[in-house]
Structures are given as C-alpha cells and as structure tokens.
C-alpha cells in the first residue's frame, strides 16, 4: 500500500516529538472577532470554546489588521485588480500597487530600493543564496530566526560561523580569524529577537564590520531581519535601526505580516543589489508576489504608521508596555524589560509555565508558553505581546488573573 510504511515512520516520529515536548499539537481556530468596546482591545472567538478571548500573543503590534482604512484599501483594490496576481512578477504579475509599495518602503527606510516577496521567510532565503559566492563566509548570531538558518543552509557558503548572541567581540574575533581566507563575508542578525525582545548594538556591529571590509576582495556586508521591529518600536516605527540610532545595515529584511497587519516580506538596500536580486533570486522569480490588494493594504498601513496617528499608536504601545512590565514586577514577577512590546515573564519552570498559560486561557486570555527546547531549562517564560489597541483595563485584568494563580 502506498505510504503505508512511511505513515508508520511518521507516526513514530510524531510520538517521539510528543514525548520530548516539541509537538505543537492542535491549533486554536479563530472563528470570529468581537469589535473593540469602551476603548478596550477586540476579543476573539475560538472554535469549541465559549466566550471571547483577549489576545496577548499577536504580532500585529498596532492592531492594523483590523483597521478600517487598511481593510477598505484592500477591498477597493480587489474590485480593481481582482484577488490573485495570476503570475509571477516577471511574467505578468507586476501591478502598480507593487511598484508603489516598493517605492514607499524604500523611502520609509531611507534606502535606495526595495523588493517585495510573498513573505519575510521567502525574502531571507531568497536573498542569501544569490549573494553568496563560492568563497563566501557567513557569520550568524546564534539565536537568529529559522529563515536565516535555512537560508544559510540553502546558500551552501564556503564557511559558516555562529557568533555568541549579540556579542560583537566574538564577531570581531571570527572576522579577524577569517581575513584573507574568503573573498566575501556576510554578517546576518535578527533586529529584535522576538523571544526576548533584545536587539544588537548596531553601532558597534556596523563599526566592527567596517573595520574588516578592506581585508576581503568583495568586502563585508550586513543583513538584518527586523520583522518584529518594523512598526513595533522606535518613535516613528522604524524599528531596531531607530532604537539603536544606526541605519548603516546594508540590507534590511522585514515582514508585512506583523505590525503592518497585512502579509508579505521585503528587503530594502542599494538599487544595484535589488536590480541583481530581481534577476537571480529564485523565490522572487519563480514564486507569486503578494496580491495587488494586499499591496494597497500595506501602503495604507505604512501611511498610517508614518503619520501623527501612527506615532500616537506607537506612543500608546510604549505606555502599555511599561505599564504591563511595572504591573508584573509589582505583583512579584521577574520580567525582561525593554522598549519592545514583547514582555517575557520569566517563570523558569516548564510545568508552572504551561499551567499558568492554561490558567490564563481558562480566564479568556491568550499568551504563549516558551519552554524547552525552544529555550534552555531554567529560562522558561511566558511571552506576552502588547498591542496598541490594549487598554489599562485590559492589562489590569491580565495582571489580576496572573496574581490569582496559585
């Protein structure tokens, strides 16, 4: 029987994953959204669950996925262009909103050019390979996102190195050891690391890289994935570059599926790099772009972020983040503090973490348990993600619920 033996192999593997705690299991199915009431955040309905839930685990940091203007922009564009792109970009899938969005994203980041992809994952895996030569070394932060890890695997560089998390001295050491062995070095880091809300010292990183540029025939350049940072922090939503006061990263990658509340990914960099990637990047050439309506929605999100309304949202988000951090500390909890709206509550025990997340869910609050093997034993935490549509009443309710947990 076809697949009979394979099914047994796969079910054994799934059983192993269940036993070692890595199985993600059944997904929660959202069946509807209850609009905001009295200035509080919207609530979500879930399949097979009574009542409505408060989300403390959404990547839509500004709540723009439910913004009327963004939704209207997508709806209106679908009436003009239809629902799908119908072809990849170079065949006949390039629409005016794609081109306009690229221009707006490049301007937003103060970079020469932009190229959009179907997702940030496709962007990262799609750019590393064409930029890697047979004599390239890639250096990567040890906690980088999975899209970077797989992007490096696919690129098959001559050398790969992992430097200690956020450790520019270690990066410096690895660069000095590599001098003259390679033609080109690519240094890749996440912007904000979404499990902990921490981020690299970009000023130091950029100056370390510059120090070694002349030692390699094609130089040393940097790529940063700021998918959780763009639109989520920084006074004007420009993410880690803004927080760190350094916009010298050579290629910035981000998603439009988090703070922008839409879908898709992009890279911003020099025009020549984009011109080359359009000709060589497989995930761009052979895979559909986001739809024209999605592009219109993203343009609207970007306009909102880059306006006084967006700055007010970001300011409220910062206030809510501080309020929640202080509230957790006041009731005796350990938190990793920072400017990013990810607030990790350090529980440092797998069972207690899962039990508290279960207790929150019983009380209609959704949050994410981060446990081994995602983090080492002893670092178990609950990841709370704040949103610009949260109110102090919402957060007081979450804090009171946590405080009731025995």
Ligand X SMILES: Cc1ncc(COP(=O)(O)O)c(C=O)c1O
Chain residues binding ligand X by CB under 6 A are: 119-121, 145, 147, 190, 194, 225, 227-228, 255, 257, 265
- Residues 174, 181: Cα–Cα separation, whole Å: 12
Strand-pair category, 30-34 with 136-141: unpaired
Instruction: Identify the burial level of 107 via C-beta atoms within 10 angstroms of its C-beta, where 0-12 means exposed, 13-18 middle and 19 or more buried.
Output: middle
Tell me whether residue 190 or residue 394 sits nearer to ligand X (CB atom): 190
Shortest Cβ 63–ligand X spacing (Å): 18
Pick between residue 102 and residue 190 the one whose CB is nearest to ligand X. Answer: 190
265 vs 338, which CB is nearer to ligand X?
Answer: 265
Query: Nearest-CA neighbor of 141 among 218, 181, 194?
Result: 194
Q: Beta-strand (E) ranges in 96-205?
A: 113-117, 136-141, 159-163, 184-190
Residue nearer to ligand X on the CB measure, 257 or 261: 257
Give the shortest CB-356-to-ligand X separation in angstroms: 23
Judged by beta carbon, residue 140 or residue 255, the one nearer ligand X is 255
| Torsion 209-213-215-220 (CA) sign | positive
What is the nearest approach in angstroms of ligand X to the Cβ of residue 195? 9
Least Å distance, CB 87 to ligand X, is: 21
**What's the distance, Cα to Cα, between the start and end of the chain in Å?**
52
CB closer to ligand X out of 116 and 139: 116
Dig out the tokens for 48 from the structure. Answer: 């097979």
- Nearest distance, CB of residue 257 and ligand X, angstroms: 4
Nearer to ligand X by Cβ, of 81 and 121: the residue is 121
Q: From the CB of 2, what's the least distance to ligand X, in Å?
A: 32
Report in angstroms how near the CB of residue 272 gets to ligand X at its nearest.
25
Nearest approach, Cβ of residue 216 and ligand X (Å): 27
- Residue 387's CB is within 10 A of a number of other CB atoms, namely 27
Give 190's DSSP letter. E
With H, G, I as helix, E, B as strand and everything else as coil, classify residue 364: coil
Cis peptide before 176 (omega within 30 of 0): no
DSSP-based three-state secondary structure for 387: coil
Beta strands in 92-202 (DSSP E): 113-117, 136-141, 159-163, 184-190
Question: Which structure tokens are listed for 118?
Answer: 């179907």
Of 134 and 153, which has the nearer Cβ to ligand X?
153
- Residue found by looking up tokens 């994952």 in the block: 121
Least distance from ligand X to the Cβ atom of residue 388, Å: 19
105 Cβ contact list (under 8 Å, min separation 6): 114, 116, 266, 268, 302
Cβ-based nearer residue to ligand X, 67 or 189 = 189
**Is residue 356 within 8 Å of 398, Cβ to Cβ?**
no
- DSSP for 13-38, please give it: HHHHHHHTT----SPP-EEEEEPP-T
């Amino acid at each position: 029987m076809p697949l009979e033996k394979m099914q047994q192999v796969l079910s054994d593997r799934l059983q192993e994953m269940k036993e070692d705690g890595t199985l993600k299991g059944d997904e929660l199915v959202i069946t509807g959204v209850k609009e905001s009431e009295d200035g509080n955040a919207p609530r979500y309905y879930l399949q097979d669950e009574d009542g409505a839930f408060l989300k403390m685990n959404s990547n839509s940091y500004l709540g723009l996925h439910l913004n009327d203007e963004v939704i209207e922009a997508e709806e209106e564009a679908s009436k003009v262009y239809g629902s799908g792109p119908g072809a990849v970009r170079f065949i006949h899938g390039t629409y005016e909103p794609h081109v306009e969005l690229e221009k707006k994203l490049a301007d937003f980041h103060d970079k020469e050019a932009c190229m959009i992809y179907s997702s940030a994952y496709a962007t990262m895996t799609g750019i590393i390979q064409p930029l890697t030569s047979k004599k390239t070394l890639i250096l990567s932060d040890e906690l980088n996102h999975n899209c970077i890890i797989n992007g490096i695997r696919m690129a098959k560089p001559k050398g790969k190195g992992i430097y200690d998390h956020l450790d520019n001295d270690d990066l410096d050491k690895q660069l000095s050891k590599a001098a003259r062995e390679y033609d080109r070095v690519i240094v890749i880091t996440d912007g904000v690391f979404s499990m902990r809300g921490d981020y690299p010292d970009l000023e130091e990183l950029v100056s370390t890289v510059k120090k070694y540029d002349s030692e390699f025939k094609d130089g040393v350049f940097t790529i940063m994935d700021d998918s959780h940072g763009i639109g989520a922090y920084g006074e004007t939503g420009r993410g880690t570059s803004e927080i760190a006061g350094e916009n010298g990263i050579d290629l910035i990658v981000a998603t439009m599926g988090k703070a922008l509340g839409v879908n898709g990914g992009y890279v911003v960099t020099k025009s020549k790099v984009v011109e080359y990637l359009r000709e060589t990047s497989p995930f761009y050439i052979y895979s559909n772009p986001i739809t024209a309506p999605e592009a219109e929605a993203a343009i609207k999100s970007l306009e909102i972020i880059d306006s006084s309304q967006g700055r007010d949202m970001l300011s409220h988000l910062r206030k809510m983040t501080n309020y929640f951090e202080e509230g957790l500390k006041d009731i005796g909890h350990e938190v990793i503090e920072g400017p990013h709206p990810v607030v990790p509550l350090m529980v440092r025990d797998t069972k207690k973490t899962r039990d508290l997340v279960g207790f929150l869910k019983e009380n209609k609050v959704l949050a994410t348990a981060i446990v081994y093997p995602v983090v080492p034993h002893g670092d178990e935490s609950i990841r709370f993600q704040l949103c610009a549509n949260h109110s102090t009443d919402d957060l007081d309710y979450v804090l009171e619920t946590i405080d009731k947990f025995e």
